[in-house]
Structure 1
């Protein structure tokens, strides 16, 4: 079995001078770095005292599911002769906070809107979402349902 290794660096940038001396005395800001790539500014969700102008872990997790599905989907379309000219997914997820303050995702819905070049490709284009879901590394790593509501257009 082939193994792939990944490495990221997350550095807290929210020390306002007194560290974590109190819950309200520090920012949740951080920088996510990967060698040779643009840095991502992160924070917690605004519900948890985060900066709404920065990406939060929940959004990045949702984006990981969406982009993994898209990349597999485009791969399978190219193999099947389905010519995709546009792909937009407005993914949505539900995270449930528990009584002790922890939480977990309970559901993600991917809503890809795909444009293909010919009407004859529509049925295959719809079917390939199932195959992409089966192969998506991220979807295969979660313990909640990842649903799909695809729309296929012809232009």
Structure 2
């Protein structure tokens, strides 16, 4: 379980992800070795996952984001697995989430413009297997995109 030092490391890291392990250790009042061991342990335990950078898709020319709510035809026993495997192959699908309830899957799709989205939708999305129903929600604004936890 996390102790106060672990939570302190995570709080500083969440607030400023660009901190090096040495800078992080200094801010937390511990040695770099101790901070490094704690970070390694949290990575091994799956508390810290990946240290990648977010990509600003709009800066690369992707101005449209659409959220697709998909209900699958579950009469086939492997509908989820087959659908998810093929959806992963669509490069413009940047996120896939599964749910319990009326909606089974949500896909986040990016495109350069509406014409490009229509092309992706017709050629790549509608051809995915086992779709019973699909609803598109046009992304207007991202109000909060924060994964910082209250540690």
* TM norm structure 2: 0.28
Structure in which a larger fraction of residues adopt strand: 1
Structure with greater contact order relative to length (CA < 8 Å, sep ≥ 6):
2
* TM norm structure 1: 0.27
Structure in which a larger fraction of residues adopt helix: 2
